[in-house]
Amino acid sequence: MALGAGCNIEYDYRSLAPDPPGEFPDKTTTIPDERPWIDIDTGTTPEPSAEIEVTPLIYGFGDCLLECPTQAIIEIKSVGDLDLTVDKLHYSGPADLSLNVDYLTYGGLPWILTPGSSNFVSIEYTPGFEDYHLGYLTVESNDLTDPVVIAGQDGAGIRHGTKTDEFIQEEQLELDILFVIDNSCSMLDEQTGLALNSDLFITPLTTSGADFHIGTITTDSPNFRGPVITPTTPDIISEFQNQIVAGTGGSATEKGLEMATDSLLVGDASPFGAFLRDAANLVVVIVSDEDDSGFDVVADHVADMKSVKDLSVTTFSLHSVAGTYPSSPCATPAFRYDEAVYLGGGQFFDMCTSDWGYQVEQIAEDSLSSVLNYPLSEDPIIDSIIVYDDGVPVLSGWSYDPYTNSVIFDTTSVPEVDSLVSIEYGHYGECP
């Protein structure tokens, strides 16, 4: 139950005042009419004192919209005969409630308030969760009768509204994935690390039901190192490992961007072969411990790669595992690959990491994003999200990504084709 007025409703201090006394009854008394009250002289005079008055002692914000700030003004007044010294202000409560003091105007503590004067502080309430919140302002002074005064404030956070976004699970995703592997003399460890974790790349593709083509070339040749890998390839992981371990006898002049472009335009990966498909999304992954050694403009390479697809119906992304720019502890800083990733809308991964499993998992998830990711139309209250698959609550196998404002399914939990995915959530909105 709220302690006082509603959110953004001004508190009426006058309601706290007592009603004025009524008229005296009309009856005969021994008190003279001209003197209805008798003053009794005790022979003593009250000692002057400092007295404090804090108003309001109780303030209710009521129901307040999440993430929307509102304020209560608290008056600290000297109502005695002597100066009031305010020694301490302390606030206790959740982070949703906070004390604001204008020290620039009033100076630092202690405050010396002359009789009849006041200072003002404010309590700001910005609810972050759907919950009841209660806080207390403690004021300590030299008032001998009430040296400690406590004022309470409460409120409740409420959502702006409830939203339901609906999606029809896409048909089987088609993916064309081109790997470009540096086969120079320094790449043995990197190729091995990639191969040892290859199951973390292949398994999400197979369990998601995606229809994929995987081709592998090197940084010194646009030709495929083996047959195109598909869901029907026997012993897929072994075949992928064999192609990824490209050896270390290649050229020391690594031209990953040029080789990828040539392969896609006129080589093995081109529309003239069995790799590219009209309806398939294109993913290019370049793995190298050296930066691209070509001289052509990076943007031209990326534009050429995109040109082999109709991007009105498909997508393109370029990822790189290379030396971080501007410095790298184990590889040459790859500023050209960094630019290509930026233009290609992909992800840049650190060649020097020990966790190759994370690298390949992220590439797989990004490749599958169109069947795994469900972008929300509003910013959700995270703990209010409920996911349904054809009306049945999905209790696990998904997560919320705040960076993309999306619900993301695990690769092992992808809904069936044509199923209705409904995502219900409370959301934020504009503050009054």
pLDDT in tens, 343-400: 999 999 998 887 888 888 888 888 887 777 889 999 898 989 999 999 999 999 999 9
Same domain, 213 and 252: yes
Nearest to 98 by CA among 61, 130, 47: 61
CATH label of the domain that carries residue 147:
2.60.40.10
The domain that holds 309 is classified in CATH as 3.40.50.410
On whether residue 39 sits in a domain, the answer given is no
Q: Give the pair of three-digit tokens for residue 225.
A: 């190192």
The identity of residue 66, as a single letter, is L
Please write the tens of the pLDDT for every residue from 140-198. 999 999 999 999 999 999 999 999 999 988 766 899 999 999 999 999 999 999 999 99
Range of the domain at 118: 1-13+48-158
Spatial CB neighbours of 268, under 8 Å, sequence gap ≥ 6 = 215, 217, 222, 223, 224, 275
Structure token digits, residue 162: 């409830």
- Within 8 A by CB and 6+ apart from 215, the residues are 176, 177, 178, 179, 224, 228, 229, 263, 268, 269, 275
Cα–Cα distances in angstroms (integers) from residue 26 to residues 19, 21, 33, 39, in the given order: 21, 15, 11, 22
Please tell me the distance from the alpha carbon of residue 117 to that of residue 239, in angstroms, as a whole number: 85
Token couple for 324 = 């971080």
Q: Is the pTM of this model over 0.85?
A: no
Residue 41: CB atoms within 10 A of its CB come to: 5
Of all helices (H) and strands (E), which one includes residue 53? Answer: strand 52-55
Give CA–CA dist 236/231, Å, rounded: 8
* Tens digit of each residue's pLDDT (9 = 90 or more) over 232-262: 999 999 999 999 999 999 999 999 999 999 9
Residue among 125, 123, 7, 127 nearest 66 (CA): 127
Judgement on whether residues 297 and 180 belong to the same structural domain of the protein: yes
Going by C-alpha positions, the residue among 125, 71, 132, 73 that lies closest to residue 97 is 125
> Is residue 42, in this structure, part of any structural domain at all?
no
**Whether the Cβ atoms of residue 69 and residue 126 lie closer than 8 Å to each other:** yes
Q: Choose one of 370, 398, 413: the last residue of a domain.
A: 370
pLDDT tens digits, residue range 78-131? 999 999 999 999 999 999 999 999 999 999 999 999 999 999 999 999 999 899
- 408 or 229, greater pLDDT: 229
8 A C-beta contact, residue 361 and residue 349: no
